Amino acid sequence: MLKNSHGKPGQHRERHTMKSEHIPKATIGRLAVYIQVLENLLRDGTEVISSEKLASACSVNSSQIRKDLAYFGEFGVRGVGYYVQELITSIKHSLGIDRVWNCALIGVGNLGTALLRHHDFEQRGFVIKAAFDCDPDKIGKELEGMEIVCPTHLKNQAKERGIELGIITTPPDRAQRAANHLVDAGIKGIVNYAPARINVPPHIPVEYVDFFDHLYSLAFQVTLGNFEG
């Protein structure tokens, strides 16, 4: 294991400098899992954990964890393990999620409403500052202390509220229109829950969250297991 920032004899300070800008997307996904697992461990009172136990909790091997963390520097203490709080702080800093990100949500249907009521967003630093919908029956109503606004006002709202990220939860046929509003408003990144692909400029990253992709994958794995069994 590697070295930690505790000022103990014979130990050097952690280095958190990013070693490469070309970090695999799979690594970023695993780091997000590591944070969730580490935060749960911290809540349960775990202050130090070995790479083997952390790997087991994250369903990966310990060499994979060390490889993933190596993109950002050196972590851990030989013969001791990782200090949970310090590792959480370091990963969040490396991923740029140790600050608040203001978000706009477009599409206040069942899914959008559920996300607005999901308070873990704010606890993890992603604050939904405004909600938009093109349905005249929804515009002007309040939900979770926010007035639902027509997306044509998104550009002004984004500027006033410092909104950087967009969340699309519209029906599939309205996803591109929602994306256009977000792009026009200067949004820097989009999470798209709508089961539709969207076209945006290359400098705007898009993450797709399609539940059917996961269900198809799961059904295939179960089917394959039945054949192999």
Annotated binding site for NAD(+): 107-112
The bridge status of strand 146-149 relative to strand 189-192 is: unpaired
Report the alpha-carbon distance of residue 67 to residue 58 in Å, rounded.
14
Amino acid at 167: I
In 3D space, the residue among 106, 125, 103, 99 whose CA is nearest the CA of residue 174 turns out to be 106
Residues at the annotated binding site? Answer: 107-112
Pull the structure tokens for residue 6. 């505790």
